[in-house]
Amino acid sequence: MRDGVSEGAQHSNRRHTNCWCQDQQLKWPQIVDLLAQLFVQSLHITFFLRFRDYKNTRPRYRAAFRSFLESEFSEENIDFWLACEDFKSSSDNLKWRAEEIYEEFVKPTACREINVDHRVREKIQESLEKPSHCCFDEAQKHVYLLMLRDSCPRFLHSDAYLSLKRSSNSFTP
């Protein structure tokens, strides 16, 4: 007995250090959910680090990702993103090139139409009179985030990616 409190009472007042025993701590389903979220976030970060330098990424990875997008009927996303990157780095014929990108990817009747809202389309259409290097930025960012959230996680779990990863010891996600 210490300070008038029995040993048993002292023990029952202590907080457990094992999170599984504490009432206030996360329960197993919440922990599994949190781990899954962290895993998906790490995949997204991996994708971002690989994708931001897409043109310099290993050719096999590029080809596998593009092939995967083709299998999902969404290769227009990567093609639009690459067209925007080329557009930003070009110095001549901006008006012609902007109209070409608009006709191929943005126009509502485009055969390879990307998924952007009406407001973004109108903004791009208005900018075609005097296009700047950033006239497709909002649409490009939207398409990038679409690939990041949707295509990337599926690709990183696909047989094509897993096979590619196994075949290359030096390849990391």
C-alpha to C-alpha distance for 67 and 56, rounded to whole angstroms = 17
Do 38 and 89 belong together in one domain?
Answer: no
Do 80 and 144 belong together in one domain?
Answer: yes
12 belongs to a structural domain: no
pLDDT at 84 over 50: yes
Domain that holds residue 64: 28-68+154-162
pTM of the model: 0.67
Q: What is the pLDDT of residues 106-122, one digit of tens each?
A: 999 999 999 999 999 99
Do 78 and 138 belong together in one domain?
Answer: yes
Do 144 and 78 belong together in one domain?
Answer: yes
The pLDDT score that the predictor gives to residue 173 is: 46
Q: Report which of residues 6 and 95 the model is more confident about.
A: 95
132, 143, 159, 160, 166 from 154: Cα distances, Å: 34, 16, 10, 10, 17
Q: What is the pLDDT of residues 122-161, one digit of tens each?
A: 999 999 999 999 999 999 999 988 888 888 888 888 898 8
pLDDT band with cut points at 50, 70 and 90 for residue 1: low
The pLDDT score that the predictor gives to residue 171 is: 44
Residues 6+ apart with CB under 8 A from 99: 128
Where do we find the tokens 């907080």?
A: 15
Report, as an integer, the average pLDDT of 82-96. 89
Six-digit token string for 135: 């006239």
pLDDT band with cut points at 50, 70 and 90 for residue 27: low
44, 46, 97 from 41: Cα distances, Å: 5, 9, 35
How many other C-beta atoms can be found within 10 angstroms of the C-beta atom of residue 170? 5
Do 132 and 81 belong together in one domain?
Answer: yes
Do 62 and 111 belong together in one domain?
Answer: no
C-alpha to C-alpha distance for 38 and 20, rounded to whole angstroms = 20
Q: Report which of residues 65 and 6 the model is more confident about.
A: 65
